[in-house]
Structure 1
């Protein structure tokens, strides 16, 4: 085959030449374009399944050890997509308590693991923690909580976010000692703060994203 296409042969022959030539520069561009198309097709498929873009997050801390470790890449799904019957109301999210009763588990424990914006701040580092239970606005949730996760509070008056300032989820990292809402991480998580539910993870692959974004050396919450 000629090293260059003959302009007199027309565009169809030129395209055939591009597809079949062994010219080094053309081979490089051809492989680059085909790889980009594969990535685009995979991305479109993942978006179609998850309903989110991007559908992945990288874990930045060990708050969900050993189920999710720092550097893991986690696939997310829009929480209302294929919501199970045990989900709380119309939130699409299953709490730890409901999961225990319904035999519904994610990452080796009852209930959903969600990615949410702490205090609804879209600029804050997202948090990936397990949903424990639901509270209503102005609810005294001290008595229904697990006492060991309350940072030593003896009653609602000593417990942060109690009574609940608004309705939402009480959350906690599996490896953390306290509820997020008993600390400064976040108020009860409103449903519209939830970005999605964690479905599965690829160990270690998230380090690529952390290095590219410059978060590899940070001790983030996510």
Structure 2
């Protein structure tokens, strides 16, 4: 046992390049493990960060921002309608911004838009609009120029089911996602495959 401890001590005190690189890798691994554990505890997911890749949520979220997403197992969705009643605001407007999968599909890039209100099956999705085939959220981007209509007009023509919601946006780091977006684009070019898991529109 003491011999093993001596070897470990010698490794950490060594001046060799290889030992230095290995020590750095071990330090990075420790940081990543701590980050993943804290992410699971706080956000309910091992990978809570998502990079914004479109301007549909401007001015409150911009292309290149990193957004932290909290899993629904750790929180619940407050719609804009409910937020206006209670005074609850996030990201510059009432209610929560949610990350969801269109039609529940894992093959497409997730969408991050605001939950406007909730409708039940059989109710019109908006005044004079089509009837909801099932219960769910009506959603919309915050950009008043490019997203004047609800997502359910064309982007996802049915309400967003609860099980399609990946999580709720909690924090934003401006422009920190540009490196990730650039890296994903390079991988797409090299492999011909989309790297959509950590990106959204």
Which of 38, 54, 66 aligns to 1:73? It is 66
Query: Partners of 2:125 and 2:176 in 1: how far apart?
Result: 38
Query: Which stretches in structure 1 are left out of the alignment for 5+ residues?
Result: 1-8, 84-91, 144-154, 157-161
Correspondence for 1:171 = 139
Instruction: Indicate the SS of the match to 2:84.
Output: helix
Q: TM-score, normalising length from structure 1?
A: 0.79
Moved over 6 A (4+): 215-218
2:72–2:167 contact (8 Å) kept in structure 1: yes
Equivalences for 1:24-173 in 2 at 5 Å? 24-81=17-74, 83=75, 92-143=76-127, 155-156=128-129, 162-173=130-141
Query: Which stretches in structure 2 are left out of the alignment for 5+ residues?
Result: none
Which of 168, 174, 194 aligns to 1:197? It is 168
| Equivalent residues, number | 188
1:63–1:221 contact (8 Å) kept in structure 2: no
Rate the CA distance shift 1:125–1:186 in 2: closer, same or farther, 3 A.
Answer: farther
1:186 Cα deviation after fit: 4.2
1:135–1:170 contact (8 Å) kept in structure 2: yes
Rate the CA distance shift 1:221–1:16 in 2: closer, same or farther, 3 A.
Answer: closer
1:75 Cα deviation after fit: 0.3
1:221 Cα deviation after fit: 5.7
1:80 Cα deviation after fit: 4.1
2:50–2:200 contact (8 Å) kept in structure 1: no
RMSD, matched Cα: 2.1
Matched, 1:182 2:153: yes
Query: Partners of 1:73 and 1:209 in 2: how far apart?
Result: 9
Correspondence for 1:23 = 16
Query: Partners of 2:3 and 2:132 in 1: how far apart?
Result: 72
1:73–1:205 contact (8 Å) kept in structure 2: yes
